[in-house]
Every structure is written in C-alpha cells, then in structure tokens.
Amino acid sequence: MLSSASWRTTPFRLALQFGAAYVLGVAILLGLVYAQTAGFLSQRVDRILQAEANQFRPATAETILRRLKEEAHRDPLNYLALYSASGQKVAGDIDLPPPEFGPSRSAGGPAAREFPRRDGRPPVRALAQTLPWGETLVVARDTGQLVDLRQTLIVALFVSGSIIAAFGLASGLLLSLEPLRRIQAMRLASERIVGGDLGVRLPVSGRRDELDAIAAIVNTMMDEVERLVVHAQTAGESIAHELRTPLTRLRATLEHASESLSEGDPNREKLEVCVAETYGVLARFRALLRIAAVEATRRNAEIAELDLSALLDQVAELYDPLVAERELRFVVDIARGVTARVDRDLFVEAIANLLDNALKFTPPPGAVGLSLRSSGAGFVLEVSDTGAGIPEADRPLVIKRFYRGQAHHSVPGHGLGLSLVAAVAHLHGLELSFADNAPTGARVKIAVR
C-alpha cells in the first residue's frame, strides 16, 4: 500500500495537473456547446417572430385588426397585440405594453427580448414593431419549451461533463499508480541503505525511463560507496587485528622485563609506564573493533522487545557501589512499564559508557543521575552529572572518534566511548543529544526520534 508521502510525489501531482487541465478543457468545450445551442434556439425563435411581424408590415390598420381577431388563440404558442401611440392596448391576447421594451433595438431594426409572465406562466420572447401610423404591434412566442430544452441541455452537459471529468481524473490516477509504486519501492530501499545495509540497491524495472535512469545512477554510486566503505572498514579492522598480536607480545615482554628488575630501579619505573601505555593502545584497538562491529549492523537479529525499566534497574544496581565508592550521590528515577525493541547487550554497553563518563568527569561530592520516562514517541533515557559539562561548541564533535575536549585532556581516556554510544543509537534508530545540567554538568539524552 502506498504511504501518505507517496501522494506528494511528482507523478501524482502531474496526474492531478493533467486531470485538472483535462477537466477545464471539457468544461470549456461543454460551455461552448451550450452557448452555441442556446444561441441557435434563441435565434430560431427570433426568426419566427420576425417572419410573423413582416407579415403585418404592408397591411392597413383595418387588416391588422381583422387578422389579430383571426389569429387569436389559433396557435397556443404565439401571441399578438396592438397598442395605440399612447400605449393603450387596442386588441390582442398578451399584455406587454411597448414601454416595457425600452430602447431595445438592434442595428437592423427592432430586437426580440425575453420577458417573464406576471401570472406565473412560462416566459415569452417578444418583438415590438412601430407601424407607420404610430401604433405598435407586439409579436410574442411562448418560450417554455425553449427554457425546458435549455435546462435539459444543462443537465445533460453537466452529467456528461462530470462523467468525462471523473473518467479523466481516474485515468490519470491509475496511470500514476505504477510510478508511485516504483517510487515507494525506491524509498524503502533507500531507507534500508540509510539504516546501514549498503548491499541494497534501488529496483530497476527495465523500462529504461527516467526512474530507471535515476536508479541506475544511484546504484552505480552505491557500488562505489560500498567498495570504499568496505575497503576502509577492512583496512581498519585488519590493522587492529594485525597490531593487536604484536602489541600483546610487546606488553608481555615489557612486563617480564619490568618484573626482572628490582623495586626502586628507575628502569623498572620506565618499563611500567611503557606497559601502561601498551594497555591503553590495546584498549583503543578493542574499542575500534567494537565500534566497527556495531556500525556493520550485523546484530539486528538480536533486537527484541525488552522491559527497559527492569533493564535499567539492573544497571543501576550494578553501578550503585561504584558511585558510592567515588563519594557521589546516585539519583535514579526510572518509570515503570517502559518497553522498547533494543539489543540488550549493546544497549547496556551504551548506558555503561555514559555512566562511566559521568563518574570519570564528576568530582566528589557531586551527583550522577539515571532516569527513564515514557513519551508519546516511545521513551526518553537520560544520564546526567554535575561535572564540568560539555561546551556547546564541542557537542557535535564529542561523538567523533578520538576527539577529546580541551578541558579533559588530563583525564584518562581514549575518546571512543561516546562514538560507541552514537553507533548503538544509530543502529536502533534513536536520537543522541547533549544539554547542560543546570547549574553545572552535562545531560546526555537517548530518545526515540
């Protein structure tokens, strides 16, 4: 099924635009048909009226009166009337005095006009002609049939126009469904690529149209991106693996050499410093390999619905003695019944990194906080401390590998803890953000986007 976002795509909008243009064209066509048909019917009635009036033009007054009496009620659709110069009705079967006509005249003579009937009967179309001796002859015709025909024509044009417009719009929408379906498939594939699955490619239909051209370009680009990423990851992992073994041997050799020297020997102290540095380098390699494994997103199968409240209770119980050992307060506020789909081991590792950082950078008698609450989108997890905090300028940089702020160079560490947290958050589709913890300290939030 197409999502709501698909209806905002270009194919759907083009279908609506072409459909609207089609409907407008049909409306103009039907309007012209109606105007021409209605105009033709009115002109036909006018010709009949003009022909009737022309029959009386050469006649005398006596002849006209006699014919008026003969013509009266012979044709129920035609009406005749004769008015004196003062506007008084002399004879006839219709009451339309000449003043009601006003100055209605065309270039070729008197013009016919349509008048409503005062008695509720159908309107008439009448033509007034002034006779040579000053009297006015009014020739009229009942236009009830003409009005009915116009209404029938309007209904027919409206119904047919609606059917044609609906058919045109439906056709446009149906024609846009296939491009929309393909765009939906491309969008889903793109979301998988954004999620870290670099092996996914946009679908190609084989029609060689513009969508296939775009998909082919993106797929070619993704082939190169995947090659470079895999090369970089492989190179980094290979370096870490290759160096870890000789470094382990080096550490063992240095430890053995250090133990062979007596206590207080300056050379032994130097060797112990070298051993400590070797431990630090090995820790960095382990952290890099761990981040690489998380970013490879090969642990998706272990994501399951878990009780976060119970999970954080276990973490808080584990860290409670560590916080007390550092003479800090541990402020725990965990809401009940909060669940989410997470990888348990990775999520615990991310929280542990955040708590380790908070303990590392918070001097006694400060406080470390761990909170969890539900929200409309899912949950919000926060780890806070009362240490030096993270300057606003450093917040976008602290998740980068090996980055350490200027104020924390003296604190032991290798600058990879928050990089691992960011990788875990990205794997789960969560948002990692940093803020101040007033009056001092930092607040790190992990929440559903």
What pLDDT, on a 0 to 100 scale, did the predictor assign at position 198? 77
Please tell me which residue, 237 or 228, carries the higher pLDDT value.
Answer: 228
Which has more confidence, 329 or 36?
329
Residue with tokens 């407008």: 24
Six-digit token string for 339: 């669940």
- Tell me which of 81-85, 143-147, 179-183, 285-289 is least confident: 285-289
Q: Is pTM, for the whole model, over 0.85?
A: no
Mean pLDDT of the chain: 76
pLDDT tier, 107 (very low <50, low <70, confident <90, very high otherwise): very low
CATH among 1.10.287, 1.10.10, 1.10.8, 3.30.420 for 210-295: 1.10.287
Where in the chain are the domains? 13-148, 210-295, 301-448
Q: Give the CA distances from residue 108 to residues 48, 111, 190, in Å, rounded to whole numbers and listed in that order.
A: 16, 8, 75
Q: Which residue would you say has higher pLDDT here, 247 or 385?
A: 385
Worst-scoring range by mean pLDDT, 155-159, 217-221, 302-306, 405-409?
405-409
pLDDT at position 104: 43
Class of domain 301-448 as given by CATH: alpha beta
CA angle 52-57-61, nearest 5°? Answer: 110
**359 in helix, strand or coil?**
helix
Q: Is the pLDDT of residue 4 over 60?
A: no
Q: pLDDT class for 405, splitting at 50, 70, 90?
A: low
Name the one residue in this structure whose structure tokens are 């008084």: 88
Rounded CA-CA distance 272/284 in Å is 19
Q: CA geometry: angle at 91 spanning 88 and 95, to 5°?
A: 65
Distance CA 74, CA 63 (A): 17
Share of the chain above pLDDT 90, in %: 9
In one-letter notation, the amino acid at residue 371 is: S
Radius of gyration of the chain from Cα atoms? 46
Q: What is the pLDDT of residues 18-45, one digit of tens each?
A: 777 777 777 788 778 778 877 787 787 7
CA 434 from centre of chain:
29
Whether 13 shows a pLDDT value over 50: the answer reads: yes
Computed from CA positions of residues 227, 233, 237, 240, in that sequence, does the dihedral angle turn out positive or negative? Answer: positive
Q: Do domains 13-148 and 301-448 have the same CATH topology?
A: no
Q: How far is CA 49 from CA 3, 43, 81, 85, in A?
A: 64, 10, 13, 21
Token duo for residue 94: 């219709």
Q: State the greatest distance between any 2 C-alpha atoms of the chain, in Å, as a whole number.
A: 156
Q: Mean per-residue pLDDT for 304-325?
A: 90
Dist. CA 338–CA 72, nearest whole Å: 95
Fold of 13-148: Beta-Lactamase (3.30.450)
For the four alpha carbons of 241, 246, 249 and 251, in that order, the dihedral sign comes to negative
- pLDDT average, residue stretch 310-324: 91
